[in-house]
Amino acid sequence: MILFGSSFLVYNLAAYASDPLAELRLSNDDSAQQQIAALTRQLNLDTPPPLRYFLWLRGLLGVFVGNLNLGTTRDGLSVQSELAYAIPVTIRLVLVATITAVLVGLALGIISALRQYSRFDYGMTFLAFLLYSLPIFWVAVLLKEFMAIQFNNFLSEPNIPLRWMVIFSVFVAIFWSSLLGGERKRFWTVFGGAFATNFVILWAIDFTNWYLDPGLGPILIAFLAVGIAFGVTAISSGLSDLKAKKAALVMAALAVVWYYPAQWIFDNFVSYFAIFVMLVLLVATGVFVARIFSKIDRGPIARTAIITGVQRNRCG
């Protein structure tokens, strides 16, 4: 009864809230009236929504006798075929979103635990509670508007306004200064360096029209690799661990050396097996580098070196 009542309510709310014929009623096309009459017959729009619900319910219950009929869309397509196309896409989207949320949540949770009671910890806690308290449907509308529609419009004419360079650089600077900063002087030093670096990168991307012809060269890879090396070391074992820092920087240097060979492999032998072999070599290299820089407590150093190599390969 609950399922029947809720479906009846939702069906009628949707029916009364929308008018499939609204655009046709405003159209000046000579065939508009014919299209209205055809669509009215096709969708049973001349039947009141409460009675129309039972027509839909009869088609739904037909699944028990092997005659499922959910009707047709206004374009004349079967609803079953549209659902058969949409369900796998939805499952993939939900699966990728769930995996991404778990990985990001675990990573931020581990970093917050390592930096307990720091600015980063307080900031991530505040952000987590803020996002958790926001209505999901409202966030979904915002993401659809700005991450899909507006982003597609941006790609048609890629240009980053100065104010967005400043705003995004401020957020990036807050993140890194909260993660790496300590005393007030060091906090503002990291803040200024992160702000300037991010602003220059965004300006260069906009100036060179990078969005129209994206690609990472060895110079940019070198800067990213060094930045990743310091960031991973700070998160994994702390910048005070000189052995871990040296191991991460060596992995960054090796990443630059392997830039062209890796590109050649991806261009000529791209496959899951090739990626697997490269990951195995990367892990082996990280362990080897850790053994060079440390005779004891090699685990954290190997972890730092391997993560640095993995993150560099993701960027490349």
User: What confidence score (pLDDT) does residue 229 get?
Assistant: 76
User: Is the confidence at residue 310, as pLDDT, over 70?
Assistant: no
More confident residue, 300 or 199: 199
User: What confidence score (pLDDT) does residue 91 get?
Assistant: 92
User: What confidence score (pLDDT) does residue 95 get?
Assistant: 92
From the list 107, 170, 97, 162, the residue with the least C-alpha distance to 136 is: 97
% of the chain residues with pLDDT over 70: 85
User: What confidence score (pLDDT) does residue 100 get?
Assistant: 87
User: What confidence score (pLDDT) does residue 202 get?
Assistant: 84
Task: Tell me how far apart the alpha carbons of residues 177 and 175 are, in angstroms, rounded to a whole number.
Answer: 6
Q: Which two tokens stand for residue 131?
A: 């996002």
User: What confidence score (pLDDT) does residue 106 get?
Assistant: 84
Show Cβ contacts of residue 106 under 8 Å, excluding neighbours closer than 6 positions.
none
Average pLDDT over residues 45-55: 85
Phi, psi of 258 (to 5 degrees): -90, 5
User: Is the confidence at residue 315, as pLDDT, over 60?
Assistant: no
Q: How far is CA 110 from CA 107, 116, 128, 312, in A?
A: 5, 10, 14, 20
Average pLDDT over residues 7-35: 82
DSSP state of 159: -
| CB-based contacts of 109-118 (< 8 A; 24+ apart in sequence) | 110/235, 111/179, 111/235, 114/235, 115/179, 118/178
pTM greater than the 0.85 cutoff: no
Average pLDDT over residues 292-314: 63
User: What confidence score (pLDDT) does residue 230 get?
Assistant: 74
Rounded mean pLDDT of the chain?
78
Average pLDDT over residues 259-283: 76
Task: Tell me how far apart the alpha carbons of residues 249 and 209 are, in angstroms, rounded to a whole number.
Answer: 30
User: What confidence score (pLDDT) does residue 282 get?
Assistant: 78
| CB-based contacts of 74-80 (< 8 A; 24+ apart in sequence) | 74/20, 74/39, 74/42, 74/43, 76/42
From the list 237, 315, 251, the residue with the least C-alpha distance to 287 is: 251
Length of the chain: 316
pLDDT band with cut points at 50, 70 and 90 for residue 54: confident
User: Is the confidence at residue 144, as pLDDT, over 80?
Assistant: yes
User: Is the confidence at residue 311, as pLDDT, over 60?
Assistant: no
Q: Where are the domains of the chain?
A: 2-74
% of the chain residues with pLDDT over 90: 2
Task: Tell me how far apart the alpha carbons of residues 122 and 116 are, in angstroms, rounded to a whole number.
Answer: 8
Average pLDDT over residues 75-88: 82
User: Is the confidence at residue 35, as pLDDT, over 70?
Assistant: yes
Residue 78 bridge partners (DSSP): 72
From the list 288, 273, 272, 278, the residue with the least C-alpha distance to 310 is: 278
Query: Per residue in 214-240, pLDDT tens?
Result: 666 666 777 777 777 777 777 666 667
pLDDT band with cut points at 50, 70 and 90 for residue 309: low
User: Do residues 286 and 313 make contact, with C-beta atoms less than 8 angstroms apart?
Assistant: no
User: Is the confidence at residue 299, as pLDDT, over 70?
Assistant: no
User: What confidence score (pLDDT) does residue 216 get?
Assistant: 64
How many C-alpha atoms does 31 have within 13 Å on its Cβ side?
3
Q: How far is CA 75 from CA 15, 21, 59, 78, in A?
A: 17, 12, 19, 9
**Which residue intervals of the chain are DSSP H helices?**
2-17, 22-26, 32-43, 49-61, 79-114, 119-133, 136-143, 150-156, 162-180, 184-207, 218-236, 242-257, 259-268, 272-293, 298-315
Query: Per residue in 154-188, pLDDT tens?
Result: 777 777 888 888 988 998 888 778 777 667 787 88
